[in-house]
Chains A and B, each alone.
Chain A
Amino acid sequence: MSFLKQNKDVDALVAVMKSRLSEARDKHALYALLTPALSFKGPVKYNNTPLWVVALVGITIAAINAANQRNLRFNGHQELVTTLWVLATLATLIPLGWIAWRSRRLKGLSDAIWQKNLLLDNQLAPVPCDGAKEAKALGQRFYDFRRGNHRRSIDALYKGHYQGEQHSFDYRVFHFHYVDKHTHTSTDSKGRTTTRTSYSHYHRYGLLLDFGYARNIAILGNGSSGHKGSRWEPASLDFRKCFKVLTDDEMAAARFLKPAVVEALTTLGAQFRRANLELNADGALCLSVSDNDLVSLPRPLGLEAPQAFLALLKEDTPLPKLRQLLKEVHLLLVHSDNNF
C-alpha cells in the first residue's frame, strides 16, 4: 500500500508548508519553506491510481446498466436498476471530486507561494481588512467605489512605498469587487409574469495615495459613477477619445493637465483597460484600471518541480503593470509640483 503512504506524506508536507507560508516574512523564509519539498522522496503529487480505478468501475457499471436496463425493467428489477445507477454515480463522482480537490489543494499552495513571492519581490505587504467595511469607507472618499447596486468589497489590499528620482510616496494597491443585480420581468402569451434575477460581477484594480497637488478632478475612461463637476477638454483629440474630464475648477484642471501629462495619460489609456483617475477634495488620488494582472502574474512552474520552482522564486519578478502605473503617478507628481 505504498500509495497510501505517499498520499499521507504529501498531506503532511502540504500542511507543514501552509502553516509556514503564513509566517514567511522575507525571501529567505520563502526559500526555506521549500526545503521539505526538495527533500521529499518521489514526486510532490498525490497517487490517484486507486481513485481512477474506482471511477472506472463506476463508469463500467453505468455503461452495463445503460445497456441492460430495459431487460432488467422488463423482468421486474426496477429497484436493481435504480440502485445500480446510484452506485455508478457515486462510484464515479466521489473519486473524481476527490482527485479534483487534491489537485486544487496542491495548485492552491503553489499559487499562494507564487503570490507571496510576487509581493516580496515588489515590496508589497498585505493589509488585513474587512472587505465590505473598507469598500464602504473608500466609497465615502471616492466616487469610483460607489459602483455596483448589490455588493461591494475590497478583496485584496496591499501597501507599498515608491522611491522615484524626485518624489517618494506611500501607496496602497486594491482589488475592488462589485456586483450589479439585475431583475428581469417577462410576461408570456398567457399573461403569466416571471421574474428572473441575474448578477454581474466586476473587478477593478488600482492605486490609492495622497497626491496633494490637485483636488476635485476626475479623469474618466470607465464612465462616471456619480462624479460631479463641469466638463473640461484639453487640446489633444487623442486624449478626448480616451477620457472625459470633470472638475469644479477649470483653471486647476488646465494647470494639472499639462501637455506632458496629457500625453502620458493618453498612453496610459491605450495600455490599460478602462483607466480612471480621481483626485478627491482632500487631494487623495485613486487610479483604477480593469487589468487583473496588476498584482498577479501567471505561474510558470509549481511544486511538481520543486528545484526549478525554487530557482524561479530566487529570480526577481517585477510586476510590470504596477511599476508602469507608479511611474505614471511619479510623472504626475513631477509635473504638478512647484520647483521654486
Chain B
Amino acid sequence: MNFNILIWNQYLRSAAPNDCAKPLKLIKSCPDTFQGRNYHVRCISGYRGVGAGHPILIHNAIIGRFNASRRAWGDVIAQERQKNEILPALEKVAKDYASHEQGLMEKVTALRGALAGLSGEHIDTRQLAEAEQHMGELLSRLNLTVEAYPDLKATDTYGKLMHEITEQQQNVGAAIRIFNRNVERFNTGIEVFPNSFINRLFTHKKPLDTFDDSQAAAGIEFKPKF
C-alpha cells in the first residue's frame, strides 16, 4: 500500500489551502499568500514526508503499547509481592490465637514461598496462579480461625489486617484489569489495517493473551508471550 498515493488523494479532495496544514500537523503553516504551483509543490512534499513518516509512527505506537503491556504485567507482579507486608501480621495472629493449630502458620509459610518464587524478569504466571491459590487457602484458614476465636475479630490487628488484605486484593484485581485492557489495545493495534502490514513487515510483534483471574484460581497455566 502506497501511503503517498493515499494521502495525495486525500489532499486532492481537500479544498482549502489551509488544509495542507492538517495531516498530522507536520506542515506548520501555509501562508495565504502562498499561491499557485509552488504552494502545491510545498504541500506535496509535506504529504510525502507524512507518507514516509507514517509507518514509523505506526511502528513506534506498536512498540509503545507493547511496552505498556509489559509494564502493566510488571505491576501485577509488584502488587502480588505486596502481600509480603501482611505476612508478619498474619504470623502474629497465628501465634497469638492459633498457636496449637499449625494450619494457619503453614499457609503463611506456603504463601511466603510462593511470593519468593515470583520473578519480574522471568514471567512465569504459574507462580502467580500458585501465589493466588495460596492466598485463597490462607484467607479460608483465617476465616476458620476467626470462627474459632471470636475475640480475634475485635482486635485492632485483625481489623488492620483485613483492610490491608482487601486493599491488596483490589490492587491486584485492578492491575490485572489494566494489563488486560493494555493487551487488548496492543492486540487491536497490530491487527487493524494498515498496522498489521507494518507489523508483519517491520515490528514483528505477536498478539498477547489476556490474563483471566479465574484461570489463575483454577491453576491453568498462562504465559503472555513477551
Contacts and interface: CB of A to CB of B under 8 A. Distances in A.
A236 B72 CA distance: 7
B174 interface: yes
Size band of the interface chain B makes with A? 20 to 34
B160 A235 contact: no
B85 to A, nearest CB: 7
Interface in B146-185: 160-161, 163-164, 167, 170-175, 177-179, 181-182, 185
A262 B174 contact: yes
B89 A340 contact: yes
A238 B69 CA distance: 12
A273 interface: no
B48 interface: no
Interface string B70-86: 01101100010000010
B160 A263 contact: no
B79 A259 contact: yes
A335 B89 contact: no
A168 to B, nearest CB: 15
Given A236-B72, A236-B182, A339 B163 contact: yes
A103 B181 CA distance: 53
Contact of B174 (A166, A260, A339, A340): A260
Interface of B is mostly: helix
A281 to B, nearest CB: 26
B126 interface: no
Contacts of A239: 178
B208 interface: no
B141 interface: no
B68 interface: yes
A334 B182 contact: no
Given A235-B72, A237-B65, A237-B68, A335 B167 contact: yes
Interface size bracket, A side: 10 to 19
A263 B177 contact: yes
Contact of A340 (B75, B79, B164, B170): B164
A77 interface: no
Contacts of B85: 340
Contact of A235 (B75, B161, B163, B170): B75
Interface in B174-198: 174-175, 177-179, 181-182, 185
Contacts of B72: 235-236
Please report whether the interface of chain A is mostly helix, strand, loop or mixed according to DSSP.
Answer: helix
Interface centre among B89, B174, B181 (most CB of A within 10 A): B174
B178 A340 contact: no
A258 interface: yes
A262 B79 CA distance: 13
Interface in A17-39: none
A258 B177 CA distance: 13
Most buried by A among B161, B163, B172, B179: B163
Contact of A260 (B163, B167, B181): B167
A237 B187 CA distance: 13
A58 to B, nearest CB: 49
Interface of B: 65, 68, 71-72, 74-75, 79, 85, 89, 160-161, 163-164, 167, 170-175, 177-179, 181-182, 185
Interface of A: 166, 235-240, 258-260, 262-263, 334-335, 339-340
Given A235-B72, A238-B181, 15 more contacts: A166-B163, A235-B68, A235-B75, A235-B178, A236-B72, A237-B68, A239-B178, A259-B178, A263-B174, A263-B178, A335-B171, A339-B161, A339-B164, A340-B85, A340-B160
23 contacts: A166-B163, A235-B68, A235-B71, A235-B179, A236-B182, A237-B185, A258-B79, A258-B174, A259-B75, A259-B171, A259-B172, A259-B175, A259-B178, A260-B173, A260-B174, A262-B174, A262-B178, A263-B177, A263-B178, A334-B167, A339-B160, A339-B161, A340-B164
